[in-house]
Structure 1
Amino acid sequence: MSEPRLTNPAAYLQRLGFEAPPAPTLETLRLLQLRHTGAFAFENLTTLAGEPVRIDLASIEQKVLRDRRGGYCYELNHLFLALLQALGFDARGISGRVVMGQPEGAWTARTHRLSLVTLDGVRYITDVGFGGMVPTAPLLLDSLDEQLTPHEPYRIEQHADGYTLRAKVANEWRPMYIFDLQRQEDIDYTVGNWYVSTHPESSFVKQLMVARTGEGWRRTLNNGSFAIHHMGQDSERRQVADVEALIGVLQSEFDIRVPTDPTLMRTLERLITPQ
């Protein structure tokens, strides 16, 4: 059974600034990853609306490319992998365990999707769906060195169970996620997505999380707390007062076409109202 294919890769590439399909090179991969994290926001509005998050390729294309929405790892990294494969990259999906914000040594559920790309025998990880700390460049897998990106530096630690991705934040190497290269099938992503989008203890059903990158900045929105993080400078922060203002921020700062769903509106109002 063949893998599903993108229905309109040309329109997808145009959103990323390419008028013609680029060659499958490292420079192309770098440009695609950087532009993707700027063009398509990380967001979890669907879960907050109480709707199922559909992760088949056709549904993701409709939502992200035609409905002008964003998504999270099971959507954005699936879409991105399909594009890489359409361009001729040697790429496949892998998965990991998010440990950002957890105590050192924590071992969490396998709920993150990313991709492995091999170029001329050299292996890289690429990820466009990791929220406010998404790497904005592909990272060499088989290197222990600090790796610079257009945003924070990252490094990959190797250990008996796989790898740990760390980012340098405030001069501290903080763990982001643990991952390995185990083969993944659609059912593995279906199970992870089901947990993330429906489990009552999942942060994706309990709070609004939105992120987008740009040249020298990251924008994040957590419930009503909006921030612009400038690389090497202080962050700008403000509270969003009401749902109307929140929708304005989602549209103007994250380029998201917000669905007019009554359940979503009620949920957003509850999340930004001081308890």
Structure 2
Amino acid sequence: MDDEGFDQEGWLTRIGHSGPRTPTLETLRALVFAHAHAISYESLDIMLGRVPQLDVASLQKKMIYSGRGGYCFEQNMLFRAGLRSLGYRLTSLQGRVVRGLDIDAPRPAIHMLLIVHLHEGDYLADVGFGNLAPTAPLLLKPDVEQDTPHETMRFIDVGGELTLQSRLGDQWAHIYRVIPYPRYDGEYEITNWYTSTHPSAPYLSNMIAARPGPDRTRMTLFNARVIVRHSDGRSERRTLDGIDQYSSVLREEFGLNVPDEDLAKMLEIVERRGAKGAPHPFFS
């Protein structure tokens, strides 16, 4: 995608970053943390038949100016434009999501992620993986436990693909395997269309949002269920009832400016075809 017209000032204001802009590891840490906390992960427009648009103008209109979030392609495309505007060198990659699955599960490449090339080494930067997106850049090196403002994470090699894992309580949870080959933006367009239109994808029928919180907590919305997960594995759960509660949670807790008319349509879709049991394993 062409980054022409990117509003660097608008992006930095939106994420609340007023610190240094030099393309260093320290700045990258601050940017990942700020972006992840300010712009929630969400896929709500997909429920209304709106395929996410990945051009810079559309991304800015939605996530910078309209108080909305986005899912992986939107989030990491916007973040990539921001990093490039500051002078970072990076490579765009894809990952095979194995959250809740066997670590070597034969998964398609449906997740976008970024590798930032720094003097200290190559670092993963990913602000678009729902309730387990790393809130700090991670050195792309196997078998090194790396602390973040939320979980401790590491990579392990699985058949030549480094697999990102997160320690949840006393267990290591698989997240995704990194495919170590650069991707063209046209491949993201194809995958974005697939994930936002395929009838078996969770986004068409379910309300999904996620945001990191204070004290190493993570908050996830999956239909009527709101889950706050602590770093030691404990979870607090509550169930929403009625459009007023949904509206309050989306706007006040996830920072999402969702029109009431759209929210009403989403709740109708959830009632007709949304998942009735536990959250999808990707968002549990």
Q: CA deviation at 1:244?
A: 2.5
Separation in structure 1 between the aligned mates of residue 5 and residue 181 of structure 2, nearest angstrom: 25
- The answer to whether the 8 Å contact 2:104/2:158 transfers is no
Is the 1:243–1:268 contact (alpha carbons within 8 Å) kept by the matching residues of 2?
A: no
Runs of at least 5 residues in structure 2 that lack an aligned partner in the other structure:
278-284
- What do you get for the CA RMSD once the two structures are aligned? 2.0
Query: Is the 8 Å Cα contact of residues 90 and 117 (structure 2) preserved in structure 1?
Result: yes
Change (3 A) 1:106 1:159: closer
**Matched AA of 2:182:** R
Aligned to 2:266: 264
1:29-48 superposed matches below 5 A: 29-48=28-47
Taking structure 2 as the reference length, the TM-score comes to: 0.90
C-alpha contact (below 8 Å) 1:97/1:111 kept by paired residues: yes
Residue 255 of structure 1 aligns with an amino acid whose one-letter code is: G
**8 Å contact 2:6–2:81 — kept in the other structure?**
no
Q: Are the equivalent residues in 2 in contact too, given 1:135–1:149 (CA < 8 A)?
A: yes
4+ aligned runs moved over 6 Å, structure 1: 271-275
Kindly state the Cα deviation for residue 269 of structure 1 after the two structures are TM-superposed. 4.6
Question: TM-score when scaled to structure 1?
Answer: 0.93
1:274: Cα distance to partner? Answer: 6.2
Partner amino acid for 1:5?
E
Deviation digits for residues 157-210 of structure 1 (CA, Å, limit 9, x no counterpart):
124332111111121111100112212112100111111100011112232211
Q: Give the conservation status (yes or no) of the 8 Å contact 1:131–1:211.
A: yes
Aligned to 2:282: none
Residue 231 of structure 2 corresponds to 231
State the identity as a percent: 36
Local SS of the residue matching 2:269: helix
Q: Which amino acid is the alignment partner of residue 101 of structure 2?
A: Q
Tell me the number of residue pairs that the alignment of Structure 1 and Structure 2 aligns.
274
**Counterpart secondary structure, 1:70:** coil
SS of residue in 1 equivalent to 2:164: strand
SS at match of 2:107: coil
Unaligned segments of structure 1, at least 5 residues: none
CA distance in 1 between partners of 2:91 and 2:80 (Å): 7
Q: Report the Cα distance in structure 1 between the residues aligned to 2:210 and 2:161, rounded to whole angstroms.
A: 27
* Structure 2 counterpart SS, 1:94: strand
After superposition, give the CA deviation of every residue in 1:209-247 in whole Å (9 maximum; x if it has no partner).
110012222111111101222333732210001222112
Shift of residue 270, structure 1, vs aligned partner = 4.2
Deviation of residue 156 (structure 1)? Answer: 0.6
Name the structure 2 match of 1:123.
Answer: 122
Contact 2:211 2:218 in 1 (8 A): yes
How much has 1:120 moved relative to structure 2?
A: 0.9
Measure the CA separation in 2 of the matches of 1:98 and 1:239: 27
- Secondary structure (helix, strand or coil) at the match of 2:90 reads strand
Partner in structure 2 of residue 213 of structure 1: 212
